[in-house]
Structure 1
Amino acid sequence: MVESKNPPEIALLGVGGTIAMVRSEHSGVMPALDATALLDAVPGLDSVVRPRPINLKNVPSPHLGLEDLPDIAAGITAAFADGCVGVVVSQGTDTIDEIAFGLHLLHAWPAPVVVTGALRHPSQAGADGPANILDAMRVAAHPAAKDRGVMVVLNATIHAADRVIKRHVSRPDAFFSPRGALGEIIEDAVYFEALADRRGAGAAAGCQQPAPVALLPAALGDDGRLIDHLQGAGYRGLVLDGMGGGHLHPTMADRLEQLGPDFPVIIASRTGSGRTLRQTYGYPGAEIDLAARGVIRAGSLTGLKARIALSLLIGNGAERTAVRGFFEQFGGG
């Protein structure tokens, strides 16, 4: 691949995570490296892009919250306004799938936004952070990356924000898209194999205060007694990680009746792939019964992503009809 003599300017928005961690004096690794240090560790980067370091946060990804999503989105928008033609966000991998999808919902940026991180910290053999940053920068600079929504790049693979899931704790190939990746990076070249998918992009644009939404798993024999306390605790919606195609124990399903029509409930599948069923099973707690109770199907979205979506939609003032319409885009509703 021949590099450009005038490479595009791409921002690296540093948020923290394993990619930015070094071993502390008294315990394990902790966030320490800023965006400049991350860029300095990538060989040959200056021949690919003109990198611009921007330090937003430096925290472990489990410390991020829903309230951080508007801040990160604002940082991305500011980088574009300041002349960057693409933005790479570097963060911890524990919440990459949630943060990337939240950013996708908050803004329909036409220019590329890519989220990346690392599974191995910089002091480990085979640390993957520099390679992931370089790949993410290549994708953000590629002309075909425009109008694709927020993407996630790790292990030389390009994922769509609504598809990607983390399926392993620590391996560099931890991230996977059950419905197929968007593309890959081979021999320093970017290849897009799938068409752009902008479903949901900007659906919650303008949301500054995400609403509290509970996420509860459906487990063997669980009667759902926690549901009785959700409204009293201040939650404004519920996502259930259902069994199989989106199924619950009948006692858990019965408890949903008390929540009322102004408290949206979404049913996802805890399997992590496929879509919630629509009209196969008719027993109490199955999809036909839940639909009759007003429960909305998440379609292909996982419970984690359905929660992000419902939180941002409610926080943006969406009513039940709009919430249902959103999930219909992903085969649910």
Structure 2
Amino acid sequence: MSAPSGGGGAAPRLRAADLVASVPDLAEAATLELQDFRQTPGAWLEIDDIVAVADLLNQRAQSGTAGFVITQGTDTLEETAFLLDLLYTGEAPVVITGAMRTAEMPGADGPANLLAAVRTAASPSARGLGVLVAFADELHAARHVQKVHSTSTSAFASPGAGPVGYVVEDQPRFPFAVPRQTPVGLPWVRPASVEVIEANLGASAALLNAAAGLADGLVIAAFGAGHTPKTWAEPLGDLAARAPVVLASRTGAGSILSSTYHFGPGSETDLLKRGLINGGDLEPRKARLLLLALLRSGAELPEIRDAFEARRR
């Protein structure tokens, strides 16, 4: 987590021991083993960093560890949570948390979030739920959680779904827990790249044409329930004939439709007929991570379609 640095602003400076020392109640919540894995801003994290964490978690889960807590910067926390949920195969809960206020700000939220995360990771009721995010005494499933505010201490929410649980009187409760979906797993067997292109009012197809030779897969952050400018329809069909192209909604909540709108080129009906994959209720950043994981795991187009279809049920 971040604290003021010598340069006058906040930077990742606190190590695991510093975090634990700032929350005396942690000693009563669980027996802790500490490990500093990376000390880097969340915005600097790479896919391979998260793969390395997943490898470590999968190894440690086999040794009988009751649960895991990960702290990181909030910029990419939702993406870390979702990717880890795809790659982690253990039953012990993994709980990710962070802070929206630095350690020396009035009302710093890091200590309370960390305590809630540890209590959740130590709870038998969290087993089998995969990766969770603990923030402001709310517990969110990795598949739904999003950062929805740039500065608020309640920055994390699950649009269209809501939290799966809460921490009440120091105890995690899960009134809305959802079954975990099948992980993609490791190891990955080949390199791949996936990019996201967002539809905007009157946007040209220039980025689509440029992406043709640069990415192994593409996610379209479409208008509403799965629509694009009409000039995008033909280029998208050409791209989908060569590589997987996933249709997701830029709204951040709700599902891509399949057969409601028939207004011609650029409607969801038209785009799906051209070979695009229905991303369901996955928002574009998570659709990208799922497609990337599938490609790197060696999946071919039929398997990729099946994987996205399974997550729509």
Question: What CA distance in whole angstroms lies between the structure 1 residues aligned with 2:81 and 2:188?
Answer: 16
Please state how far the C-alpha of 1:40 moved relative to its aligned partner.
Answer: 1.1
Question: What CA distance in whole angstroms lies between the structure 1 residues aligned with 2:243 and 2:235?
Answer: 13
Q: Which residue of 1 aligns with 2:293?
A: 312
Per-residue Cα deviation, 1:303-330 (whole angstroms, up to 9, x for no partner) = 0000011111101111111111111123
The counterpart of 1:187, out of the listed 169, 180, 186, is: 169
Question: What CA distance in whole angstroms lies between the structure 2 residues aligned with 1:29 and 1:310?
Answer: 34
Q: Which residue of 1 aligns with 2:132?
A: 151
The alignment status of 1:253 with 2:243, answered yes or no, reads no
Contact 1:276–1:298 (8 Å) recurs in 2: yes
Per-residue Cα deviation, 1:250-284 (whole angstroms, up to 9, x for no partner) = 11122113325341000101111111111101121
Which AA in structure 1 matches 2:219? V
Q: Which structure shows the bigger proportion of residues in strand conformation? A: 1
Q: Which residue of 2 aligns with 1:219?
A: 200
Which AA in structure 1 matches 2:176? A
Please state how far the C-alpha of 1:81 moved relative to its aligned partner.
Answer: 4.2
Question: What CA distance in whole angstroms lies between the structure 1 residues aligned with 2:185 and 2:226?
Answer: 25
The alignment status of 1:124 with 2:105, answered yes or no, reads yes
Structure 2 residue matching 1:114: 3-state secondary structure: strand
Question: What CA distance in whole angstroms lies between the structure 2 residues aligned with 1:106 and 1:55?
Answer: 20
Question: What CA distance in whole angstroms lies between the structure 1 residues aligned with 2:18 and 2:190?
Answer: 32
The alignment status of 1:278 with 2:264, answered yes or no, reads no
The counterpart of 1:236, out of the listed 198, 201, 216, is: 216
Please state how far the C-alpha of 1:209 moved relative to its aligned partner.
Answer: 5.6
Contact 1:210–1:312 (8 Å) recurs in 2: no
Which AA in structure 2 matches 1:232? G
Q: Which residue of 2 aligns with 1:26?
A: 7
Per-residue Cα deviation, 1:170-217 (whole angstroms, up to 9, x for no partner) = 111111112121100011111101133212x32243226662101011
Cα distance change on mapping 1:171 and 1:198 into 2, 3 Å: same
Contact 1:21–1:32 (8 Å) recurs in 2: yes
Structure 2 residue matching 1:144: 3-state secondary structure: helix
Matches within 5 A, 1:8-47: 20-47=1-28
TM-score, structure 1 as length reference: 0.90
TM-score, structure 2 as length reference: 0.95
Question: What CA distance in whole angstroms lies between the structure 1 residues aligned with 2:33 and 2:158?
Answer: 29
Structure 1 residue matching 2:266: 3-state secondary structure: coil
Question: What CA distance in whole angstroms lies between the structure 2 residues aligned with 1:238 and 1:204?
Answer: 21
Structure 1 residue matching 2:257: 3-state secondary structure: coil
Which AA in structure 1 matches 2:311? F
Contact 2:58–2:89 (8 Å) recurs in 1: no
Structure 1 residue matching 2:113: 3-state secondary structure: helix
Question: What CA distance in whole angstroms lies between the structure 1 residues aligned with 2:5 and 2:69?
Answer: 27
Please state how far the C-alpha of 1:77 moved relative to its aligned partner.
Answer: 2.5
Question: What CA distance in whole angstroms lies between the structure 2 residues aligned with 1:191 and 1:258?
Answer: 48
**Runs ≥4 in structure 1, deviation > 4 angstroms?**
none
Q: Which residue of 2 aligns with 1:170?
A: 151
Please state how far the C-alpha of 1:228 moved relative to its aligned partner.
Answer: 1.0
Which AA in structure 2 matches 1:270? R
Question: What CA distance in whole angstroms lies between the structure 2 residues aligned with 1:272 and 1:306?
Answer: 11
The counterpart of 2:43, out of the listed 62, 68, 83, is: 62
Structure 2 residue matching 1:238: 3-state secondary structure: strand
Question: What CA distance in whole angstroms lies between the structure 2 residues aligned with 1:329 and 1:184?
Answer: 28
5+ unaligned residues in a row in structure 2: which ranges?
none
Question: What CA distance in whole angstroms lies between the structure 2 residues aligned with 1:88 and 1:208?
Answer: 28
Q: Which stretch of the first structure deviates more once superposed, 244-253 or 79-88? A: 79-88
- Cα RMSD (Å): 1.5
Please state how far the C-alpha of 1:118 moved relative to its aligned partner.
Answer: 0.8
Please state how far the C-alpha of 1:293 moved relative to its aligned partner.
Answer: 0.5
Please state how far the C-alpha of 1:79 moved relative to its aligned partner.
Answer: 3.3
Which AA in structure 2 matches 1:183? G
Q: Which residue of 1 aligns with 2:68?
A: 87
Contact 1:166–1:176 (8 Å) recurs in 2: yes
Contact 1:70–1:207 (8 Å) recurs in 2: no
Structure 1 residue matching 2:121: 3-state secondary structure: helix
Contact 1:225–1:252 (8 Å) recurs in 2: no
